[in-house]
Amino acid sequence: MVPRIWREWRESRALGRKTVAYVALVRAEPLEADAQWLASGATRGDVDHARWELRYARRALGLLAAQRDALDDRTPSAIAHELAASLGREPLVDAAKLAVAQRQFNQRLGAYADALGERGVMEPTAARLGRTLLSFASGGAAPDPGNIARAGALLTGYLAEASSALERIFGAATLPEHLPPSASTVEVTAGKGAKQRVRR
């Protein structure tokens, strides 16, 4: 039997490695074409502002995907901690402006969470996400419907990429065929056939 403290240390190390890998993916730089489009349509030609809005959006949606889809309660917390730490290490953020960047990120995180969680409205989720991005980028100016559609497609793409990365890095939940979806435990496959049991 492996001592509990040793097992927990190994699990913590593994979680840390996976978290760093996941955060590196959701911190990927936006495509230049997307930044140029957002600059022309919402930030009055300010490409740097457009890039930051896309960075914030991708990171926020990466965290929200983890909060929604992670199999272990520790995962979103670890990702949130690493995202905050990575912002502090961000070479593009002046140390004197770190608090401003953190506040801006948290504002966007809350707004994107609201856009994803809103129920009982006719507007599709993609449109709500797109409208949120354009609102931050433009300072609240009324967006063009065509821009809402493109922004929504871009952000739902970010969300799908994050969900796929989360499953690939942290593992996917699978149920044996003879069990119903309401079964109390699921089996997690986490790379190279490694499996563990997780209580729902």
**Cα 160 to the center of its chain, rounded Å:** 9
The pLDDT assigned to 173 comes to: 55
1 pLDDT higher than 90: no
Whether residue 168 is predicted with pLDDT greater than 50 in this model: the reply is: yes
Mean pLDDT of 169-177: 66
Q: What does the buried/exposed string (b/e) look like for 112-146 if buried means 16 or more CB atoms within 10 Å of the residue's CB? A: bbebbeeeeeeeebbbbbbbbbbbbbbeeeebeee
Band of residue 130 on the pLDDT scale cut at 50, 70, 90: very high
pLDDT of residue 42: 96
pLDDT of residue 197: 38
User: What number is the average pLDDT over the span 13-31?
Assistant: 95
pTM of the model: 0.82
Helices and strands: H and E segment counts in the chain = 7, 3
Picking from 3-12, 74-83, 134-143, which range would have the lowest pLDDT averaged per residue?
3-12
| pLDDT over 60 at 185, yes or no | no
Q: What is the reported pLDDT for 25?
A: 97
Summarize the confidence of residues 104-117 as an average pLDDT. 96
Which range among 112-116, 125-129, 176-180 shows the weakest confidence by mean pLDDT?
176-180
In the chain, domain spans: 4-170
pLDDT at 94 over 70: yes
In this predicted structure, what is the pLDDT of residue 2? 59
Select the more confidently predicted residue: 151 or 197.
151
Instruction: Kindly report the average pLDDT of the chain as a whole number.
Output: 86
